[in-house]
Amino acid sequence: MGTGGEKARLVRFPAGLRAVFWPMPHFSSVAIGFWARVGGRHEPGPWCGISHFLEHLLFKGSRTRSAVAVARAIEGRGGDFNGYTQEESTCFFARVESRHEEIAFEVLADLYRNPRLAEADVRSEREVIREEIRLYEDQPAQLVEEKLQSLLWPGHPLGRPLTGTEESLNRIGRRELVAFHRRAYLPSATLVVIAGGTDPVRWCRHLEQWARGGSSRRYSLRAKPVTAHHPQERVGLIRKPVEQTHLALGFRLFGRRDRRRYALKLLSVVLGENMSSRLFRLIREEHGLAYAVQSAVVLFADTGAMTISAGTEPRHLQRVLSLALGEIRRLGKERVSDRELRRAKEYTAGQIRLGLESPSRCMQWAGECAATYGRVLDPDEEIEAFEKVTAEEICVLAREVFKLHRASLAIVGPDVDEGGRDEWVRRLAGGL
Tell me the pLDDT band of 1, cut-offs 50, 70 and 90. low
pLDDT tens figures, 169-218? 999 999 999 999 999 999 999 999 999 999 998 898 889 889 887 777 77
Q: What is the mean pLDDT of the chain?
A: 94
pLDDT at 111 over 90: yes
**What are the structural domains, with CATH classification, of the chain?**
9-212 (3.30.830.10), 235-429 (3.30.830.10)
**Inter-residue contact 249 to 409 (CB < 8 Å):** yes
291: which residues sit within 8 A by CB, 6+ positions away?
284, 311
pLDDT at 344: 98
* Percent of the chain scoring above 90 in pLDDT: 88
According to DSSP, the β-strands at 245-253 and 304-312 are antiparallel
> Using CA atoms, how far apart are residues 295 and 268, in angstroms rounded to an integer?
6
pLDDT at 14: 83
pLDDT tens figures, 119-170? 999 999 999 999 999 999 999 999 999 999 999 999 999 999 999 999 999 9
CB atoms within 10 A of CB 370: 21
Amino acid at residue number 202: R
> Using CA atoms, how far apart are residues 86 and 42, in angstroms rounded to an integer?
11
Section 56-75 average pLDDT: 96
Section 300-316 average pLDDT: 97
SS3 per residue for the chain: CCCCCCCCEEEECHHHCEEEEEECCCCCEEEEEEEECCCHHHCCHHHCCHHHHHHHHHCCEECCCEHHHHHHHHHCCCCEEEEEECCCCEEEEEEEEHHHHHHHHHHHHHHHHCECCCHHHHHHHHHHHHHHHHHHHCCHHHHHHHHHHHHHCCCCHHHCCCCCCHHHHHHCCHHHHHHHHHHHCCHHHEEEEEEECCCHHHHHHHHHHHHHCCCCCCCCCCCCCCCCCCCCCCEEEEECCCCCEEEEEEEEECCCCCCCHHHHHHHHHHHHCCCCCHHHHHHHHHCCCCCCEEEEEEECCCCEEEEEEEEECHHHHHHHHHHHHHHHHHHHHCCCCHHHHHHHHHHHHHHHHHCCCCHHHHHHHHHHHHHHHCCCCCHHHHHHHHHCCCHHHHHHHHHHHCCHHHEEEEEEECCCCCCCHHHHHHHHHCCC
> Using CA atoms, how far apart are residues 84 and 86, in angstroms rounded to an integer?
7
Section 61-85 average pLDDT: 97
Tell me the pLDDT band of 324, cut-offs 50, 70 and 90. very high
pTM: 0.94
Section 101-125 average pLDDT: 97
> Using CA atoms, how far apart are residues 88 and 299, in angstroms rounded to an integer?
11
**Inter-residue contact 231 to 412 (CB < 8 Å):** no
Backbone angles phi, psi at 274, to 5 degrees: -150, -175
Section 384-411 average pLDDT: 96
> Using CA atoms, how far apart are residues 163 and 283, in angstroms rounded to an integer?
32
> Using CA atoms, how far apart are residues 169 and 49, in angstroms rounded to an integer?
7
Residues in the chain: 432
Q: Distance from first CA to last CA of the chain, Å, rounded?
A: 47
Of 267, 255, 250, nearest to 392 by C-alpha is 267
> Using CA atoms, how far apart are residues 107 and 112, in angstroms rounded to an integer?
9
How far, in Å, are 75, 107, 117 from residue 71 at the CA level? 6, 9, 17
pLDDT at 432: 60
pLDDT at 104 over 80: yes
Tell me the pLDDT band of 4, cut-offs 50, 70 and 90. very low
pLDDT tens figures, 256-283? 999 999 999 999 999 999 999 999 999 9
Q: What angle do CA 327, 250, 420 make, to 5 degrees?
A: 100
> Using CA atoms, how far apart are residues 37 and 20, in angstroms rounded to an integer?
15
State the helix-helix crossing angle for 317-333 and 391-401, rounded to 10 degrees.
130
pLDDT at 228: 86
> Using CA atoms, how far apart are residues 387 and 349, in angstroms rounded to an integer?
9
pLDDT at 2 over 60: no
Tell me the pLDDT band of 5, cut-offs 50, 70 and 90. very low
